[in-house]
Amino acid sequence: MRYGIMQNENTIETERHPWPPFLPSGTRLLMLGSFPPQRKRWSMDFFYPNRTNQMWLIFGDIFFADSQRLVDKKNKSFYQKEIEALLHEKGIGLYDTATAVRRLSGNASDKDLEIVEKTDIPALLSRIPLCGDIVCTGQKSFSVLSEDYGVAVPAMGKYYECPIAGRKLRIWRMPSTSRAYPMPLKQKTAYYVHLFEQIGIIGKE
């Protein structure tokens, strides 16, 4: 059996999540993706590891006015330690809505992911009492919260309030940062600027 992968009776491998949740003690925003890509696509051992994913370009642009600030060009990767330090400073936690999946087509596409085991969202929230906002970074992750907690699907960049584990949270829908998602990087960045302004992570211009 390969690391993090189990064989099932249908011969399609079941992958378990490779990392624990990243939850700084002062987390006030929890960002939830769907599931990490295959290991062969990782450029670092951390969330949004695909070298073509635009998440850390967006963070670089917003927090350093330089989309390449967190990009390790020499090693074709990202500066993981700097990313983690930034997330701690800003109170941003990261995880995914699935802890085990099957890749029905053997690729990283969300539409081909079959969720075998969902993440225990209330358990995550119990570890971050200051968190009042959850961001879903794509349709697949939002669909899990929609199904399990009856969260209505808002317009892109908007939120609905929803009670989860006895707390009223704002559940935001954001565009996927996958390069395959058909939206210009500048427009994706604008959505995240608005989000961070509304939550108070950055000041309003």
Separation of alpha carbons 140 and 4, rounded Å: 21
Q: What is the pLDDT of residue 55?
A: 98
Report the SS3 class of residue 90: helix
How confident is the model over 115-148, as pLDDT tens digits? 999 999 999 999 999 999 999 998 888 888 888 8
Instruction: Give 159's strand partners.
Output: 172
Separation of alpha carbons 162 and 172, rounded Å: 10
Structural contact between residues 195 and 135, judged by C-beta atoms closer than 8 angstroms: yes
Mention every residue, 6+ apart, whose C-beta is less than 8 A from residue 204: 197
pTM score of the predicted model = 0.90
Query: Locate tokens 């969300």: which residue?
Result: 110
Q: Has domain 21-96+120-199 been given CATH number 3.40.50.300?
A: no
* Domain boundaries defined on the chain: 21-96+120-199
Considering 10-24, 124-138, 151-165, the range whose residues carry the highest mean pLDDT is: 124-138
Q: Where are the alpha helices (DSSP H) in the chain?
A: 55-64, 80-90, 121-126, 139-149, 185-199
